Structure 1
Amino acid sequence: MLRKEEILERTSNGLSVFKHYVPGNWRIGRNFLNPLYEDNKASCNIYFDRRSGIYKMKDFGNDNYSGDCFFFVGQLKGLDCNNSMDFIKILETIDRDLGLGLTTSNPIPVTRTSCRIVDDIPEETPEKESKPYQFREQKFPLAELMYWQQYGITPEVLELYKVCSLRDFQSITADGTPFTYTSSVTEPMYGYKNKRYIKLYRPFSKTRFLYGGNFGENYCFGLEQLPAKGDTLFITGGEKDVMSLAAHGFHAICFNSETVAIPPTLIYKLTFRFKHIILLYDTDKTGKESARKQEKQLEEFGIKRLLLPLSGTKEEKDISDYFKAGNTREDFLKLFIEFLDNLYSDTLIMLKSCEIDFNNP
Structure 2
Amino acid sequence: MITKSAILAATQNGLNVFKHYIPFDFKLGKNFKNPFYDDKNASCNVYYDRHNLCFKIKDFGNPDYSGDCFAFVAQIKGLDVRRDFLQVVQSINLDLNLCLDEKPDNFIPQTNFKKKSKTQSVSTSNFQKIKPVSDHIIKTIAKPYEFTEKAFSQSELAFWKTFCISEKTLNYFRVRSLSEFKSVNKDNETYELQATINEPIFGYIGESYVKLYRPKSRLRFLYGGQIPANYCFGLRQLPNRGDILFITGGEKDVMSLYAKGFHAVCFNSETSHIPPDIIEMLAHRFKHIILLYDSDETGLSASEKHLAVLEKYNIQRLVLPLAGNKTEKDISDYFAKGNGRDDFQRLIIDLLNTKYAQTMTLIKSCEVDFYNPPELTENIVSVNEVPLGTQGNLFCITGGEGTGKSNYASAIAAGTLAEDGFEVDSLGLDVQANRNGKAVLLYDTEQSENQLYKNTTLLLRRAGRKSKPEWLKAYYLTAMSRRERLQSIQDSMDYYHHFFGGIQLVIIDGVADLVRSTNDETESIAVVEELYRLAGIYRTCIICVLHFVPNSFKLRGHLGSELQRKAAAILSIEKDTQNPEFSVVKTLKVREGSPLDVPLMQFSWDKHKGMHVYRGEKPQKEKEKRKEVELTALAKEILADKKRFTYSELLQEIELLMDVKERTAKSYIRFMSENGIVVKDSANTAYYILGKL
Shorter-chain TM band: 0.5 to 0.7
> Residue 312 of structure 2: SS of its match in structure 1?
helix
Task: Give the structure 2 partner of residue 173 of structure 1.
Answer: 185
Structure 1 unaligned residues grouped into runs of 5+: 1-126
1:322 to 325, 334, 339: 334
- In 2, the alpha carbon distance for the partners of 1:326 and 1:272 equals 34
2:318 to 282, 292, 306: 306
Task: Give the structure 1 partner of residue 242 of structure 2.
Answer: 230
- In 2, the alpha carbon distance for the partners of 1:221 and 1:174 equals 25
1:196-275 correspondence runs (5 A): 196-275=208-287
- In 2, the alpha carbon distance for the partners of 1:347 and 1:242 equals 31
How far off is 1:316 after superposition? 0.2
Structure 2 unaligned residues grouped into runs of 5+: 1-138, 365-489, 496-693
- In 2, the alpha carbon distance for the partners of 1:303 and 1:351 equals 24
| AA aligned opposite 2:251 | E
> Residue 272 of structure 1: SS of its match in structure 2?
helix
Task: Give the structure 1 partner of residue 348 of structure 2.
Answer: 336
| AA aligned opposite 2:330 | D
How far off is 1:241 after superposition? 0.2
> Residue 284 of structure 2: SS of its match in structure 1?
coil
2:301 to 268, 285, 289: 289
| AA aligned opposite 1:297 | V
Task: Give the structure 1 partner of residue 201 of structure 2.
Answer: 189
Task: Give the structure 2 partner of residue 47 of structure 1.
Answer: none
2:156 to 135, 144, 157: 144
How far off is 1:343 after superposition? 1.4
- In 1, the alpha carbon distance for the partners of 2:278 and 2:159 equals 32
> Residue 140 of structure 1: SS of its match in structure 2?
coil
- In 2, the alpha carbon distance for the partners of 1:351 and 1:195 equals 50
Q: Does the Cα contact within 8 Å between 1:128 and 1:216 map onto a contact in 2? A: no
Instruction: State the Cα deviation string for residues 46-99 of structure 1 (Å, max 9, x = none).
Output: xxxxxxxxxxxxxxxxxxxxxxxxxxxxxxxxxxxxxxxxxxxxxxxxxxxxxx
How far off is 1:311 after superposition? 0.6
1:19-98 correspondence runs (5 A): none
1:155 to 167, 171, 182: 167
- In 2, the alpha carbon distance for the partners of 1:280 and 1:336 equals 11
- In 1, the alpha carbon distance for the partners of 2:215 and 2:358 equals 41
| AA aligned opposite 2:327 | E
- TM-score by structure 1 length? 0.61
Identity of aligned residues (%): 51
| AA aligned opposite 1:236 | T
How far off is 1:351 after superposition? 11
Q: Which structure would you say has the larger RCO, counting Cα contacts within 8 Å and 6 or more residues apart?
A: 1
> Residue 356 of structure 2: SS of its match in structure 1?
helix
- TM-score by structure 2 length? 0.32
| AA aligned opposite 2:145 | Y
| Pairs aligned (count) | 231
Given the superposition, is the C-alpha separation of residues 279 and 128 from structure 1 closer, same or farther in structure 2, using an over 3 Å criterion? farther
Task: Give the structure 1 partner of residue 567 of structure 2.
Answer: none
Q: Does the Cα contact within 8 Å between 1:138 and 1:167 map onto a contact in 2? A: yes
Q: Does the Cα contact within 8 Å between 1:144 and 1:188 map onto a contact in 2? A: yes
How far off is 1:216 after superposition? 2.5
> Residue 181 of structure 2: SS of its match in structure 1?
strand
> Residue 235 of structure 1: SS of its match in structure 2?
strand
Task: Give the structure 1 partner of residue 570 of structure 2.
Answer: none
Instruction: State the Cα deviation string for residues 152-209 of structure 1 (Å, max 9, x = none).
Output: 0001100000000000000000110000000001100000001110000001111110
- In 2, the alpha carbon distance for the partners of 1:350 and 1:329 equals 30
How far off is 1:234 after superposition? 0.1
